[in-house]
Homo-oligomer: A and B are copies of this chain.
C-alpha cells in the first residue's frame, strides 16, 4: 500500500523567529519513502537538518518576519499490516534493559512519574506482568478519559488528565506513558501521521496524531490509548519522552498560526 503524506502549515511572524521542526518521517521509515521527503520553506531560507538525541530528524532555521509556509508532499510505502500484537511479550527486568531504554523510565515535563508511583501500583500492581498489563493500562485510560478538542492546553500534564478525565490524543498518551513508567515499564511518546485507513472516515479535519511505544521483550511496541485498537498506516515522525520533546514546530518567539492542513491518505491501487 502507498500512502500520500503531506502538510501545509502557515505562520505569520511579527518579527524574525528561530524554529526547530520535526516534520520529516522518522529515520526508521526513510527506506519506505517513494518520493523525496523535504520540508519546503517559503520564503526559501537556509536551514540545517540534524538528528536529535532521541534519533529524530529535525530542521533548525531562522524565519524572517512576515509569512512563513512549511509544506511537504510525498509518498510512502506501507505494509498495510496493523500494529503488531504479541501477548507473550514479557516485561524486561530493569537490570536487563538496554542502556538507552532506561531514560524512558524517568520523569518528564508532562509525565510526573514521581506522583504516580502509588496510584499505578494500586490500579495495576497486582496484574500479571507483560503485554496484558500494558494493555490494561491502555484500556483503563481509554475507558476513563473522554476526548474533546476543547480540553487541549499546552501545559496539561498526566496528573491533570488523571484528575480532569478529558483531553486530546496527546493527553491520553501522556497518562498511559506515565502509568507504565510508574510500573517500571519503559514507555515513550510518539507522533506521526495516522490517516483514516481501515477505519470509518472521521468527521474531524486531518491532523497529526500521537500514540505511544512500550519496551517489552526485546523491542518497542506501538500502543494507542486514544484509539485503543490496532491501526493500519501509522507513519512515525518522532519519539521522545513526552510532547515537549517532539513538538512538530517549536518557535522561539511569536508565531501566529494562519493555516494548518495535514494529508495522510491511502492511494488507490493501480
Contact = CB atoms under 8 A, between A and B. Distances in A.
Given A99-B50, A165-B118, A108 B109 contact: yes
A83 interface: no
A116 interface: yes
A122 to B, nearest CB: 8
A164 B118 CA distance: 8
Interface residues of A, number: 48
A211 B132 CA distance: 42
A269 interface: no
How many identical subunits does the complex contain?
4
A220 to B, nearest CB: 16
A102 B60 contact: yes
Nearest to A152: B150
Nearest to A122: B144
Contact of A94 (B18, B119, B150, B245): B18
A154 interface: yes
Given A18-B95, A53-B103, A106-B244, A114 B154 contact: yes
Contacts of A119: 162-163
Contacts of A110: 107
Contact of A18 (B93, B106, B118): B93
Contacts of A50: 99
Interface string A91-105: 001110101101101
Most chain B beta carbons < 10 A, residue from A61, A94, A100, A114: A94
Nearest to A115: B163
Contact of A109 (B52, B107, B245): B107
Interface of A: 18, 20, 48, 50-53, 58, 60-62, 93-95, 97, 99-100, 102-103, 105-112, 114-116, 118-119, 144, 150-151, 153-155, 159, 162-165, 184, 244-245, 250, 252
